[in-house]
Chain A
Amino acid sequence: MDPADILALPRATLEAEYLEDVSLRRLVLEHYDQEQIPLRRYLAFLGLDDDTARELVQESFLKLHEHLLAGGDRRNLRAWLYRVAHNLARNAQSVAHVSKTDPLPDVLSSKAASIEDELLERERLERLRNALGQLSAAQRECLALRAQGFKYREIADVLNISVSTVGENIQRGLERLKELV
């Protein structure tokens, strides 16, 4: 066998690995573009300040990259990402000794048709914000993930609780909000 052939064999393998690395990196960046803003909002909703939320979101995506490089499961990467971010947030909060009744973030009013509509919208969101502060952390988390479009099974996966508990938290949370708003 020609020596050049011997050297070419591992090179072909390496090129395949290289292309795989590039494709995984692209996959992570696609998820980053789609999810980093909603994920930061979710972490802010959990009570993290913007800088911490930003840092933890980046860390979550880096972990996603590691997960993919290690040949991890690629099914429902969105739920995987939220689970990692959620756990990182909880760890950060426990290290910082943040209380469970963190103030919810301020919100920007959406694009209303008139100043009057905008004021009404802002008032409505402010009432909702205060009402959310009256819920348990578990209820708030379930409702926040539901508002991000997750199914009950996925919420259970993210929060590591049962699907029936997710259903209960959502129902009780909404009933309480209905009373308060």
Chain B
Amino acid sequence: MTLHIVCSAASDIAFSLMWGGVLLLYWGALPDSLRASVHRLVTAAAIMLCLALPLQILLLTSDMCGTTHWLEIHAVLPDVLEMHAGSVLRSQFICVLLLSLSALVPLKPVTRRSIFTLLLLALTTFKAATGHAAIDGPFSLRELSQWLHLASIAAWAGGILLAAVLSVPLLGNESNLLVSYLRRLSRHCTLSIGIVCITGVLNSWLITEGKLEHIRSSTWGTLLIVKMAFVLVALTLGFLNRRDINGSLTAETQLAVAKRIRLEAPIMLVILCASGWLSALSPV
């Protein structure tokens, strides 16, 4: 179970970095050094997923056939890859493998960005078809809501993580670019959070079939409440940042915003780990 949670969390973190990175490539007016770093980070995240997904397939097989013996897992692996959960993990693996391989090909930045975007959209579609959202079958309201939820939480978390580790340190000496970047990030996060909240409530309602006692009485529900608490902390920090960013940004407030972003990043990691853990639990 622990390995399953670690694997899911690592996948969610890599997925968020990919979303944050690809969206950043559309923001324009980025210095070449930042653009190149984003390309490398998205590729690194894809490689991380290339390692995590096969492990997730093996863990799923081990869990389903109730054994940790390699020969027994190997024997039923083809059956697992044929069923829904296995086939969508395999499809996700193909997407991230193609994305990783595309880094080896010399391409124009616009072409590379388009390839990243297409593969990321496909990856999100397959990711939305796994777990609890798959219960109603393909192309259901659950899957659509899950697609929007995954994309928006990854865009939010990825945006913050990238800002903390890459963009803010790299743009620190270019005040105008940093201000414009922070304002863009603030709008981007506000939109993402709006979608996260709406789809989060809808997903919880669909998963518990409107029976809110499941949230109070299950481990899944307790963990969901813990995740919500961290989301509230991140929202508070985001609100403070938005207030400062929309005012006149002095050097002092820029520092305060950068500090809050660095504080928000580990909170986003906790939220992503909680999401990975939730996906490994049964809601009822």
User: Are chains A and B native binding partners rather than an unrelated pairing?
Assistant: no
Interface residues of A (CB under 8 A from B): none
Interface residues of B (CB under 8 A from A): none
